[in-house]
């Protein structure tokens, strides 16, 4: 409490202590806000046009084909969905682990998580061959399919996060009683959700690069990297754009969370590739990914490992860059780039390598058997993917503008 | 309720009732004719109200159980209601005179059967049409 | 050693080819064996349809069978799709053993697995196995997510990338849905054989009921066995081969 503030009565002080913190809407000039909204809105609009374009002509206008059936939209969609789970981590840290420092950020964390999930789902759904049949996806369930489970997990995540957020925001006592249970449920749900997303690939026996249980935990640790990075950028942006001060201690906490999980992702990747390299059956696909020489190899070594993992770690841990916001922001941005590279390598790279029908033979056919497939995203796919990101941002900025999500003060005591 | 809403609802109802009363548009004639007029009337009445229900039911029977009787089969409907393509003319589901399209255009209900299904009778028609 | 085994294997398989000739019946007789069920009767799991292909008896490696399928179902010439986007319900695959350099060609289509990965992963249940073992896509509830294409170890499925016209009345296929070999279910239900079997050279391919121990295919399988592609996956395929 600074000395310049008016003296408070003991009751007011008590009330203040009980509510612990006060929240406010995003205090940004209308003109700036609507300008921002318009810019983001343009990207969303472009994505809508891209969707109708593909919907009208069919998927032949995309780079996807019968060898690479999931393309750039899926890279964006899965990034956003995985990041959603990680973005809610800040909320979990406050509730489940009772870390007081994170509690002021709980609301923003949950809203970011919901926005990212909705953005990702929008991309995923709009890329379907029959997006008009969404109702069928919601009414016909094959419970042996991890995809069907994911539909339930994603919808459940939105509901749980909404209840969790409400329990944080409603001042009535009985609403508060939901706070802890919702927090714990959300924490567990996040694990299951990311496990489910990783298992989309983990449960695929057909392709050499998938079919591994480690993909689920890999996606979980990756979710912390993506989510923390996106949350950091959003938090700093929201403060800078409205000219508000952001404390150093919270930034340092985000910095170390990011570093810890980048290191964990590297560890899981190391184990995954080492296991593959040990089994002769996987030598072919590993050789292709790690040393094949085309853009997948570059994305893996330069995109994911060098720029997306090692450089952020240096930026975070270099003593001379301690307390540098620029270094943190660069690290977060690079981690996001690394995340996209990682997902591109897993999703696209895993499909570019041919399905193995006859293991000890060289294979050829008129259907790309035995050869590395080709894929390059076309404009509509890129625009749709970027539009998903824009939709997430749009939801975040509208939410912070109309709801009291941001703590009044986030600078160091 | 404010009076404006009352009048709006009244107008809506009126429009709907006029819609119900109006006769369906002129449809192209079927190639086969029932033996009695009563059969024809029954067929028309049943199909006007229930054709999608019957088609959907039949669709699942065929898809999952391999039941391929002509009754309520989409191909059988098409064979009778849509003319054979000729070298000069092919009636497609995008043409207003197509048996299904005539009504569906009138009531603005989208048809997606023909994204996959043939919209004209069997025969060596596909080759003729090309 | 492995060379020896392979030589032995080839000899053995060659022998099979001859015996296979003896056990394979003329199509006319087969037709009576694949009995038409009444139109209004539902299929049951008493029957499991399957086929056996003798690659040694396919001088064209299966090209003729592929062409017959294409003609029957009308895939492969969608006007806008790029070559890699074209559907391919069945394709000729040629493989050459890395050590022995022995080359084999065979037609590869949906293997109609007993425990099909595509059926497992489909979120809506559009990818399903009919009671008589035929794996199909119910395009009415297919949302076009392509997860089944990711899951199929045989890469047997294709996605339709554009609006189509002039489909065959007996073989609906359309934009935004996934498709694959139907084992010519429309013909089987009429008591006929799949188009590829009809087009195969004499004695090269047999179609029939795997559950009926008296059927030609069951007898041939019981006597001589047969190979599955990717047998390691344990999918118990309905399509079996000789000579791979």
| Chain-chain contact of B118 with C167 (C-beta, under 8 angstroms) | yes
CA dist C43 and C41 (Å) reads: 7
Identify the band that residue B63 occupies on the pLDDT scale cut at 50, 70 and 90.
very high
CB atoms within 10 A of CB A283: 13
Across the interface, of C130, C140, C177, the residue whose CB is closest to B59 is: C140
| Chain-chain contact of C93 with A134 (C-beta, under 8 angstroms) | no
The full set of domains in chain C, from first to last, is 2-242 (3.30.70.20)
What pLDDT sits at residue A124?
97
Residue C178 forms contact with A (CB below 8 Å): yes
Q: What are the start-end ranges of the H helices in A140-247?
A: 146-169, 173-176, 179-202, 215-241
What pLDDT sits at residue B21?
54
Average pLDDT over residues A318-335: 93
Residue C26, pLDDT above cutoff 80: no
What pLDDT sits at residue A411?
60
- C-beta pairs of A248-254 under 8 Å, 24+ apart in sequence: A248/A323, A248/A412, A249/A101, A249/A412, A250/A101, A250/A102, A250/A105, A250/A410, A251/A325, A251/A328, A252/A323, A253/A101, A253/A102, A254/A228, A254/A328
Our CA-based measurement puts residue A283 at a distance from the nearest CA of chain C, in whole angstroms, of: 15
In sign, the C-alpha dihedral spanning C36, C37, C42, C44 is negative
What pLDDT sits at residue B122?
73
pLDDT tens digit string along A191-229?
A: 999 999 999 999 999 999 999 999 999 999 999 999 999
Please, are residues C109 and C62 in contact by the beta-carbon 8 Å criterion?
A: no
Please, are residues A26 and A238 in contact by the beta-carbon 8 Å criterion?
A: yes
What pLDDT sits at residue A245?
87
Q: What are the start-end ranges of the H helices in chain B?
A: 3-21, 37-65, 74-81, 99-106, 125-129
Residue C94 forms contact with A (CB below 8 Å): yes
| Chain-chain contact of C39 with B63 (C-beta, under 8 angstroms) | no
- In chain B, domain spans: 36-72, 83-130
pLDDT tens digit string along A68-105?
A: 999 999 999 999 999 999 999 999 999 999 998 899 99
Helix (H) or strand (E) holding A133: none
| Chain-chain contact of A364 with C93 (C-beta, under 8 angstroms) | yes
Residues 96-115 of B with CB under 8 A from C: 115
Chain C residues near residue A71 by CB distance under 8 angstroms: none
Residues in chain B: 130
Q: Which residues contact B84 (CB under 8 A, 6 or more apart)?
A: B120, B121, B123, B125
What pLDDT sits at residue C14?
44
Residue C122 forms contact with A (CB below 8 Å): yes
Helix (H) or strand (E) holding C228: none
Residue B2 forms contact with C (CB below 8 Å): no
What pLDDT sits at residue A293?
78
Chain A residues near residue C141 by CB distance under 8 angstroms: 133, 136, 140
Residue of C125, C165, C178 to mutate for B, most B C-beta atoms under 10 A? C165
Chain C residues near residue A355 by CB distance under 8 angstroms: 153-155
Helix (H) or strand (E) holding C142: none
What pLDDT sits at residue B11?
73
Residue C172 forms contact with B (CB below 8 Å): yes
pLDDT tens digit string along A146-200?
A: 999 999 999 999 999 999 999 999 988 889 899 999 999 999 999 999 999 999 9
Please, are residues A263 and A317 in contact by the beta-carbon 8 Å criterion?
A: no
Joined together, the tokens standing for residue B126 give 């596909």
Residue A381, pLDDT above cutoff 50: yes
Residue C65 forms contact with A (CB below 8 Å): no
| Chain-chain contact of C42 with B67 (C-beta, under 8 angstroms) | yes
Judged by average pLDDT, the poorest of A249-253, A275-279, C226-230 is A249-253
Chain B residues near residue C190 by CB distance under 8 angstroms: 68
Identify the band that residue B18 occupies on the pLDDT scale cut at 50, 70 and 90.
low
Q: How many CA atoms lie within 13 A of C204 on its CB side?
A: 21
Residue A413, pLDDT above cutoff 80: no
Q: What are the start-end ranges of the H helices in A283-365?
A: 283-291, 295-298, 311-317, 325-344, 350-352
Chain B residues near residue C174 by CB distance under 8 angstroms: 115-117
Taking CB atoms and an 8 Å cut-off, how many pairs form between chains B and C?
63
CB atoms within 10 A of CB A30: 8
Please, are residues C99 and C2 in contact by the beta-carbon 8 Å criterion?
A: yes
Core vs surface per residue B44-79: b (16+ CB within 10 A) or e: eeeeeeeeeeeeeebbebbbebbbbeeebbbbbbbb
Residue A138, pLDDT above cutoff 60: yes
C206 in helix, strand or coil?
strand
CA dist A154 and A190 (Å) reads: 10
Residue of A137, A145, A155, A204 to mutate for C, most C C-beta atoms under 10 A? A145
Across the interface, of C85, C94, C99, the residue whose CB is closest to A365 is: C94
What pLDDT sits at residue B87?
83
Q: How many CA atoms lie within 13 A of A377 on its CB side?
A: 20
Identify the band that residue B1 occupies on the pLDDT scale cut at 50, 70 and 90.
low
Instruction: Give C72-140 as a DSSP string.
Output: HH--S--SSS-TTTS--SEEEEEEEETTT--EEEEEEE----SS-HHHHH-SSS-EEE-TTS-EEE-TT
Identify the band that residue B31 occupies on the pLDDT scale cut at 50, 70 and 90.
confident
Identify the band that residue A10 occupies on the pLDDT scale cut at 50, 70 and 90.
low
Residue C21, pLDDT above cutoff 50: no
C178 in helix, strand or coil?
strand
Residues 199-228 of C with CB under 8 A from A: none
ipTM above 0.85, yes or no: yes
Residue C91 forms contact with B (CB below 8 Å): no
Phi and psi torsions of A255, nearest 5°: -55, -45
The full set of domains in chain A, from first to last, is 27-358+368-405 (1.20.1630.10)
Across the interface, of A145, A207, A367, the residue whose CB is closest to C121 is: A145
pLDDT tens digit string along C75-128?
A: 999 999 999 999 999 999 999 999 999 999 999 999 999 999 999 999 999 999
Counting as contact any 3 or more CB pairs under 8 A, the partners of A are C
Our CA-based measurement puts residue B46 at a distance from the nearest CA of chain C, in whole angstroms, of: 21
What pLDDT sits at residue C39?
85
Identify the band that residue A342 occupies on the pLDDT scale cut at 50, 70 and 90.
very high
Average pLDDT over residues A26-54: 97
| Chain-chain contact of A142 with C146 (C-beta, under 8 angstroms) | no
* More confidently predicted of C129 and B32: C129
C215 in helix, strand or coil?
coil
Residues 203-232 of C with CB under 8 A from B: none
Identify the band that residue B130 occupies on the pLDDT scale cut at 50, 70 and 90.
very low
Across the interface, of C166, C173, C174, the residue whose CB is closest to B126 is: C166
Chain C residues near residue A360 by CB distance under 8 angstroms: 97-99
What pLDDT sits at residue B85?
86
| Chain-chain contact of C130 with B122 (C-beta, under 8 angstroms) | no
User: Rounded mean pLDDT of chain B?
Assistant: 84
Core vs surface per residue A31-61: b (16+ CB within 10 A) or e: eebeebeeebeebbebbbebbeebbebbbbb
């Amino acid at each position: 409490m600074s000395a310049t503030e008016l003296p408070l009565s003991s009751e007011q002080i008590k009330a203040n202590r009980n509510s612990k913190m006060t929240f406010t809407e995003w205090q940004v000039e209308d003109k700036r806000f609507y300008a921002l909204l318009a810019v983001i809105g343009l990207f969303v609009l472009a994505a809508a046009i891209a969707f109708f374009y593909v919907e009208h002509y069919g998927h032949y206008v995309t780079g996807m084909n019968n060898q690479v059936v999931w393309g750039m939209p899926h890279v964006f969609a899965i990034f956003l969905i995985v990041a959603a789970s990680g973005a809610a981590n800040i909320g979990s840290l406050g509730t489940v682990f009772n870390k007081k420092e994170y509690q002021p950020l709980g609301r923003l964390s949950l809203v970011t998580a919901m926005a990212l999930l909705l953005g990702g789902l929008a991309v995923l759904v709009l890329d379907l061959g029959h997006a008009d049949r969404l109702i069928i996806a919601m009414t016909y369930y094959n419970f042996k399919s991890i995809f069907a489970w994911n539909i339930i997990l994603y919808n459940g995540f939105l509901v749980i996060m909404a209840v969790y957020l409400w329990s944080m925001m409603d001042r009535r006592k009985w609403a508060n009683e939901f706070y802890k249970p919702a927090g714990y449920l959300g924490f567990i749900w996040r694990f299951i959700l990311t496990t489910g997303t990783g298992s989309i690939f983990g449960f695929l026996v057909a392709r050499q690069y998938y079919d591994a249980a480690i993909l689920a935990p890999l996606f979980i640790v990756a979710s912390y990297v993506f989510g923390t990075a996106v949350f950091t950028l959003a938090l700093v942006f929201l403060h800078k754009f409205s000219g508000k001060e952001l404390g150093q201690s919270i930034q340092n906490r985000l910095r170390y969370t990011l570093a810890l999980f980048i290191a964990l992702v590297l560890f899981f990747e190391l184990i995954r590739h080492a296991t593959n390299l040990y089994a002769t059956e996987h030598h072919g696909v590993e050789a292709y990914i790690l040393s094949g020489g085309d853009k997948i190899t570059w994305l893996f070594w330069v995109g994911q490992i060098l720029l997306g993992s090692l450089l952020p770690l240096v930026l975070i841990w270099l003593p001379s860059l301690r307390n540098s916001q620029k270094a943190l922001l660069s690290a977060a941005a690079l981690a996001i780039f690394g995340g996209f590279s990682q997902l591109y390598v897993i999703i696209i790279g895993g499909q570019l390598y041919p399905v193995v029908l006859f293991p000890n033979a060289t294979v050829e056919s008129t259907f790309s058997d035995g050869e590395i497939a080709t894929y390059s995203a076309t404009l509509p796919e890129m625009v749709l993917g970027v539009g998903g990101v824009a939709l997430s941002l749009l939801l975040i900025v509208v939410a912070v503008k109309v709801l009291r999500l941001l703590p009044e003060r986030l600078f160091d005591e | 309720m404010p009076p404006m809403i009352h009048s709006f609802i009244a107008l809506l109802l009126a429009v709907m009732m006029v819609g119900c009363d109006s006769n369906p548009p002129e449809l192209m004639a079927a190639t086969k004719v029932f033996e009695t007029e009563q059969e024809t009337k029954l067929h028309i009445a049943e199909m006007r109200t229930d054709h999608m229900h019957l088609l959907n039911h039949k669709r699942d029977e065929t898809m999952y159980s391999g039941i391929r009787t002509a009754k309520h089969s989409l191909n059988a409907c098409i064979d009778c209601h849509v003319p054979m393509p000729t070298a000069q003319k092919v009636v497609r589901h995008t043409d207003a005179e197509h048996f299904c399209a005539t009504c569906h255009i009138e009531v603005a209900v989208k048809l997606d059967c023909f994204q996959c299904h043939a919209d004209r009778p069997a025969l060596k028609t596909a080759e003729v049409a090309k | 050693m492995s060379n020896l085994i392979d030589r032995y294997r080839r000899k053995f398989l060659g022998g099979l080819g001859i015996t296979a000739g003896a056990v394979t019946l003329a199509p006319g007789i087969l037709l009576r064996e694949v009995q038409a069920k009444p139109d209004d009767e539902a299929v049951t799991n008493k029957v499991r349809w399957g086929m056996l292909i003798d690659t040694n008896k396919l001088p064209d490696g299966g090209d003729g069978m592929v062409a017959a399928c294409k003609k029957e179902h009308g895939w492969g010439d969608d006007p806008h799709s790029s070559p890699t986007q074209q559907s391919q319900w069945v394709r000729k695959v040629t493989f050459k053993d890395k050590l022995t350099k022995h080359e084999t060609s065979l037609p590869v289509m949906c293997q109609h697995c007993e425990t099909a990965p595509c059926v497992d992963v489909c979120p809506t249940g559009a990818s399903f196995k009919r009671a008589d073992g035929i794996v199909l896509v119910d395009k009415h509830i297919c949302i076009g997510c392509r997860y089944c294409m990711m899951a199929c170890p045989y890469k047997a499925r294709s996605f339709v990338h554009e609006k189509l016209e002039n489909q065959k009345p007996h073989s609906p296929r359309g934009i935004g849905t996934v498709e694959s070999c139907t084992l010519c279910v429309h013909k089987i239900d009429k008591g006929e054989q799949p188009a590829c079997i009809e087009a195969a050279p004499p004695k090269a391919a047999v179609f029939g009921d795997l559950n009926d121990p008296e059927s030609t295919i069951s007898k041939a399988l019981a006597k001589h066995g047969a190979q599955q592609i990717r047998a390691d996956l344990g999918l118990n395929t309905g399509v079996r081969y000789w000579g791979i």
